[in-house]
Amino acid sequence: MEARDIILRPVITEASTALLDDKRYTFDVDVRATKTQVKKAIEEIFDVTVVKVNIMNVKGKLKRQGRYEGYTKKRRKAIVTLSADSKEIKLFGEE
């Protein structure tokens, strides 16, 4: 898989923005991606040094529309910790 196929999008929530102070960034990644693939992809795309990668699998939620029911897509979140001397990742487009 290419690096751009592994990293889908950053996760911007209240909890994930609180982690930015510790140089921990949260991304949605491909459900088939491993920790080492995520680490290499982040280092390649953003030119930073990754120390640790934590992965969470999020199950799909049950949703109903009248008598029909189904599940939303499952997803995989990666929390990436950068080294202390690494530069920051610009998520919000600040100059």
> pTM of the prediction?
0.87
What letters, b where the CB count within 10 A reaches 16 and e where it falls short, cover 20-48? eeebbbbbebbeebeeebbbebbbeebeb
Residue 14 has pLDDT above 60, yes or no: yes
| Token pair in block for residue 18 | 């609180």
Which CATH number fits the domain that encloses residue 33?
Answer: 3.30.70.330
- Do 50 and 6 touch, CB atoms closer than 8 A? no
Q: Which domain holds residue 16?
A: 3-82
- Establish if 88 belongs to a structural domain: no
In a domain, 93, yes or no: no
pLDDT in tens, 21-36: 999 999 999 999 999 9
